[in-house]
Amino acid sequence: MKNIRINLSIITLSLFVITVNNSCKKQETATPCVKKTWYQDADNDGLGNKAVSVQDCEQPFGYVANSNDTDDTPKSVSIIPAKGYTTPATYPNLKLAWADEFDGTSLDEKFWNYELGNNNGWGNEELQNYKKENTSVKDGYLIIQAKNEPAGNQSYTSSRLTTQNKYNFKYGRVDIRAALPKGQGLWPALWMLGKNIPQVSWPKCGEIDIMEMIGGDASGRDNTVYGTLHWDNGGQYAQAGGNTKLASGIFNDEFHVFSIVWDAKKIVWYLDDKQFHVIDTTPSGLSEFQEEYFLLVNLAVGGKWPGNPNGTALFPQYFIVDYIRVFQ
């Protein structure tokens, strides 16, 4: 039995040696690398630039096998959506009382103020420091940029604008065409405060939120906007409002028009001319909404309602306004 076991071991070892030798021979006879010419595809259109090429056995990232491109210049990606809803410039029985189409090259400070700093989180534990530099007017758009950058004791910067003491109004239709930012912690708002806020403070001055969105990937965040009233009801803070959700996509995809129609009896909210909420303002407890108001546009970062950025939001983010129109 010992001799048989020894012979079997010798046979097994011999087979192993033969296998290894054959494997080595296969490796020694492998097909050698054949280098090809690859052409740069800087604009990612599948066509290569014959003026920029490399020799390699494998296709490098950003290169293709053909040289058929006549213009390989990378295309710039615009932050301005190419499409979206728009509203008419006129309405029956209404006149345009005030508008900003943002046709200049800078914010029109005849009508607008910058509110700066963090102001102790603006009462909402917000994380941004508001700066002038985050506002620009270009190609017919107001652009507010939220950045992840240190400023004072804050980690984010953005802008907040108002027409306080420069344009106030009572009643009318307000149309604001805008494209919203996206991502956890972003909080864009189009809203109004009572002209008498320096005298009576908030919430006695009243607040009309034409549009607010709290960004985030969760369902009901980047695709939902809110319209809300805030007021003082016999010494007690009160609020009421509604919301609406897009059938598909998010508010960052394209422009939408956020509107209210406000008169002595009610305030009605619209998204793209479709009514989604109405509040009766005739009760005596809502007398704040029979006074003059001014406009605000801001992009907050973080806060009690949206929560703080958690790494999923990419910065910078942009709040883009095409026009603001007030009809009476």
Structural domains in the chain? 33-75 (no CATH), 96-327 (2.60.120.200)
Q: Which residues of the chain have pLDDT under 50?
A: 1-27
DSSP-assigned letter for residue 60: P
Q: Which residues are catalytic?
A: 207, 212
**pLDDT at residue 195, rounded to an integer:** 98
**pLDDT at residue 14, rounded to an integer:** 43
**pLDDT at residue 26, rounded to an integer:** 45
**pLDDT at residue 30, rounded to an integer:** 62
Q: What is the DSSP string of 61-76?
A: TTEES----S--PPPP
Structure tokens belonging to residue 170: 């009572």
**pLDDT at residue 209, rounded to an integer:** 98
The pairing of strands 128-130 and 154-158 is parallel
**pLDDT at residue 278, rounded to an integer:** 98
**pLDDT at residue 217, rounded to an integer:** 81
Structure tokens belonging to residue 28: 């020694």
How many CA atoms lie within 13 Å of 200's alpha carbon, on the beta-carbon side? 16
Residue with tokens 């189009």: 190
Intra-chain end-to-end CA distance of the chain, in Å: 111
d(CA 253, CA 247): 13
d(CA 169, CA 176): 16
DSSP-assigned letter for residue 134: G
pLDDT tens digits, residue range 244-270? 999 999 999 999 999 999 999 999 999
